[in-house]
Amino acid sequence: MGGISGSELELELKKFLLTSSPNLQAMTIRPNSMSGEGKLLRETLELSPDGLEALISRCPLLKRLMLRNLVGIKQLNIEAHTLEWLDVEGAFEDVTLGVMNRLKNFRSRQSSIPQLVFDSQCTKAKGVQPSLQENLAKIIDKVLLLHTGPIRKFKLSHFEFSATSDIDHWILHLSRVSVKEIVLDIWKGQYYKIPTSLFNCQDLICLELYRCLVKIPLTFEGFKNLKILDLQTLELSPDGLEALISRCPLLKRLMLRNLVGIKQLNIEAHTLEWLDVEGAFEDVTLGVMNRLKSVVIDFSNDIANKPGPSNANSSNFHKFFQSLPEIQSLKLQNYSMKYLAIGNVPQTPPNELFHLKYLFTCIDFNSVEEILTVMCLIRSSRQLKHIDFQNRAKDQQATKIGTMADFREDHRACCLEQVQVVSMGGIFGSELELELIKFLLTSSPNLQKMTIRPNSTSGEGKLLRELLRFRRASVQAEVMFL
Q: What is the pLDDT of residue 391?
A: 93
Span 334-345, average pLDDT: 88
The pLDDT score that the predictor gives to residue 37 is: 45
Question: CA-CA distance, 59 to 377, in Å (whole number)?
Answer: 64
pLDDT of residue 423: 95
Q: Which residue has the higher pLDDT, 147 or 122?
A: 147
Mean pLDDT is lowest, of 6-10, 37-41, 307-311, 440-444, for 37-41
* Averaged pLDDT for residues 335-357: 83
pLDDT digits (tens, 9 = 90+) for 291-304: 999 999 999 988 76
Distance CA 289, CA 272 (A): 7
- pLDDT at residue 128, as a whole number: 46
pLDDT at 176 over 60: yes
Q: What's the pLDDT at 310?
A: 47
pLDDT at 422: 96
Residue 14 has pLDDT above 90, yes or no: no
**Per-residue pLDDT at 157:** 93
pLDDT tier at 433 (50, 70, 90 boundaries)?
A: confident
Return mean pLDDT, the chain.
82
What is the distance of C-alpha 289 from the center of its chain?
21
Choose the weakest-confidence range: 67-76, 113-122, 257-266, 278-287. 67-76
127 pLDDT exceeds 60? no
Which pLDDT band holds residue 133 (cuts at 50, 70, 90)?
A: confident
Whole-angstrom distance, CA of residue 133 vs CA of residue 119:
12
pLDDT in tens, 386-412: 999 999 987 666 555 555 555 555 555
- pLDDT at position 43: 42
Residue 316: exposure state from Cβ atoms within 10 A (0-12, 13-18, ≥19):
buried
At residue 41, does pLDDT exceed 50? Answer: no
Taking phi over 0 as left and psi of -120 to 50 as alpha, with beta for the rest, 426 belongs to left
Angstrom distance (rounded) from CA 85 to CA 12: 29
pLDDT of 284 over the 80 cut: yes
With a cut of 60, say whether residue 378 has pLDDT above it.
yes
3-state class (DSSP) for residue 441: helix
Confidence of residue 38 (pLDDT cuts 50, 70, 90): very low
DSSP string covering 316-370: HHHHHTTT-TT--EEEEEETHHHHHTSSSPPSS-SS--TT--EEEEEE-TT-HHH
- Rounded CA separation 286/268 (Å): 6
pLDDT at position 456 is 74
Whole-structure pTM value:
0.77
Report pLDDT digits (tens) over 209-268.
999 999 999 999 999 999 999 999 999 999 999 999 999 999 999 999 999 989 999 999
Helix (H) or strand (E) holding 387: strand 386-391
34-48, 171-185, 420-434: which is most confident: 171-185
Does residue 45 carry a pLDDT above 70?
no
Contact indicator for 419, 384 with CB cutoff of 8 Å: yes
